[in-house]
Amino acid sequence: MKQTVRTAQTLLNERGLYNGSIDGIAGPITLAGMAGVEGLNQRWPKNRQIIGFIQIAASECGIDAGPIDGLWGPRTQAAYDELIYLIENGKPQPAWRPDEIVVPNPNRWPVQHSNEFMEFFGERGTSLKTIDLPYEMKLAWQLRTKVRRTTCHEKVADSLISVLQKVKEIYGEREIQRLKLNYFGGCFNNRPIRNGSLWSMHAWAIALDFDPDRNQLRWGRDKASFAHPDYDHWWRCWEDEGWISLGRKRNFDWMHVQAARLPE
């Protein structure tokens, strides 16, 4: 909430309604500034007023924030993310068109579950290799447990190391922690697809999950953290090696990335 208040204070300052510190504290000066915002219900509690003002500001910028109700849901979150992008970049966030995301295939990963796939990777649970991770991770569901190694299919091992090494070089330790790129959700898991009959790519140890709590299976880009522009370089690291994001290509299961192509 503190960052949201800072955003509100910045926007109020631009309107000439606030001359206090951009400190993230919704004090009397901030509330006095919001009293000058047309269309904002002054009888709401201060947190609701802050959210309502964010909704108004987003709507005035042509961003769909839904009704001005002062309530923070997925629609407001998506509008807030777009507003922040606009403030930081001076232009609207590019439209998300998954069909225009062209992922190269330098490692010639086959289409999942195809005959070529079976010939390439073999039986599930075979040809496994344990690798050292380029940076330390932690189990997403048990954060005190450090993860320094993982088991993957031997044919994806070098590519996986290369991806994570690039992530480390681009983001650095501080950003990796801030963005939770070290919240590890697992790789090898000999199980079927959730609620499905086909086997998961995890059963061949060619898929990994990251930060599952903030990128849940059925969440789309309006809620998933990995859909935010902060993660653009993260996805570029994977896609340069031909790995496929279900979130980027299908808009669900944003936690998941795999070394197999999707059927067209």
Q: What is the dihedral of CA 198, 202, 208, 210, to 10 degrees?
A: 70
Residue 97: predicted pLDDT: 63
Residue 201: predicted pLDDT: 97
pLDDT band, residue 206 (cuts 50/70/90): very high
Kindly state the average pLDDT of the residues 114-121: 98
pLDDT tens, residue by residue, 16-43 = 988 888 888 888 888 888 888 888 998 8
Helix (H) or strand (E) segment spanning residue 143: strand 142-153
pLDDT tens, residue by residue, 119-132 = 999 999 999 999 99
Residue 84: predicted pLDDT: 85
Whole-model pTM: value is 0.68
Spacing of C-alpha 81 from chain mean position: 12
- Residues 101 and 237: their CA atoms lie apart, in Å, by 14
- Residues 19 and 29: their CA atoms lie apart, in Å, by 8
All CATH 3.30.1380 domain ranges of the chain, comma separated, are 98-258
- Is the CB of residue 255 less than 8 Å from the CB of residue 215? yes
Residue 194: predicted pLDDT: 75
**What tokens does 35 get?**
């009293």
Kindly state the average pLDDT of the residues 204-219: 94
The residues with which 150 forms a beta bridge, in sequence order, are 131
- Residues 13 and 15: their CA atoms lie apart, in Å, by 5
- Report whether CATH 3.90.700 matches the domain 98-258: no
Taking all residues of the chain, what is their mean pLDDT, rounded to a whole number?
91
Nearest residue to 17 (alpha-carbon basis) of 31, 6, 5, 7: 31
Residue 154: predicted pLDDT: 98
- Residues 97 and 116: their CA atoms lie apart, in Å, by 28
